[in-house]
Amino acid sequence: MSTTTMTLAKAITAGLDQVLAKNPKSLLIGEDIGRLGGVYRVTDGLIDTYGPDRVVDSPLGEAGIVGSCIGMAIRGYSPIAEIQFDGFVFPAFNQITTQLAKMRARSEGRFGAPVVIRIPYGGGIGSIEHHSESPEALFAHTAGLRIMTPSNAHDAYWMIQQAAECQDPVIFFEPKRRYWLKGEVDTGNPAADAFTAQVIRPGEDATIVTYGPLVPVALAAAEAAREDGRSVEVIDLRSVSPIDFDTITESVEKTGRLIVTHEAPTFGGIGGEIAARISERAFLSLEAPVIRVGGFHMPYPVAKVEEQYLPDIDKVLEALDRSFAY
C-alpha cells in the first residue's frame, strides 16, 4: 500500500523531502525554516536530514530571500523559498514581478529562473494584520509566473513536487487554515497535472468554481443544495495561472449556471477574469449571469469580525438562490 493519511501541511513536508532527495541542486530557504521548522512546522525535521546548507535559515528580509533565489537559479540551482505569511511577500514584490517573472523573456530563453515561492495565505485563523491576506490576483496579473494552490493533502504532496520540476517560476499558495485538514495521500499515484482543474463533485444544475481554502466550503454548500433538490458541480481550480478554462466551459455548457468564489476581494479578483472569459466562451449556455462570491473591497479585518468577511456556506447558497431566480 502506498496510501497514507496526512495533514495538508505534512503532505507538503513529505513532498519537499522527495524534492530534496531527488535533486541535489534543490534547497530550501526562508525565515526560521531550519531548527524551528517554520511557523507552521511545514519544514520540520528536514534540516536534520539535509543539513543547514540545503535548509537555510535566512535573515529577516524577503527581498533578499527572493533575490538570492534568482541568482542561485541562474547558476543552476533549484531554490524553494518560504515567505512566512502572505502579507510579508510585498517587500519582495519588485524582485518577483520585475526580475523573476521576466528572466526567461529578458534572456530570450537562454536561461530561466526555476524558483518556487511558498506562501501560506488566506484567513480563518484569528490572526493579526498582514497574516490573513489573499494576494493571488496581484501575481496572476504578472505574465511569466505560474500560480498553484492545493486544497487537499494528495494534491499538496504531488503539486509541490510538480512546482519544483517546473522550469518557470511558481508561486505556491498554501491555504493556511487547511494545514491541519487530513486526507489520503497516494504516494505511488501522482496527482493530475497541476495546471488542470478537477471536477471534484459532479452535478447537473449549477457549477461552483473555487480553489484553495474555499474548496471545503464549496463542497459543503453543494451538499446543502442537494437537500433542496439541486445538483451542483464543484470544480477545484488548482492553478490560478494558467487557468483551465476548458474544464470550466465544459461544465457551464452542461449546467448553465456559474458561481465563482474565493477569499480575496471580488473587486479585481480571479473571479472577475473567470466570469468575463466564460461569458465570452459560453454565453449562449448561461441561464443566469456569472455570480462572484468573495471578500469585501477593504483591508482584511481584525480577527474578531473576520467571519463576517470570509465567504461561507450561507453566502454561496445565497448566490445559488440568486442564480436560480433568473
Catalytic residue set: 131
C-alpha 194/C-alpha 205 separation (Å) is 27
- C-alpha distance from residue 257 to each of 229, 234, 254, 278, 313 (Å): 15, 12, 9, 10, 18
The H-or-E segment that residue 305 falls in is none
The H-or-E segment that residue 165 falls in is helix 153-165
230: cell is 439541486
**Do 136 and 121 touch, CB atoms closer than 8 A?**
yes
Give the number of other CB atoms < 10 A from CB of residue 310. Answer: 21
36: cell is 524551528
Q: How would you classify the pairing of strands 198-201 and 232-236?
A: antiparallel
Angle CA 221–6–150, to nearest 5: 50
C-alpha 282/C-alpha 93 separation (Å) is 35
* DSSP calls for 166-208: -SS-EEEEEEGGGTT-EEEEETTSPPSPTTS-EEEE--SSEEE
At 27 the three-state DSSP class reads strand
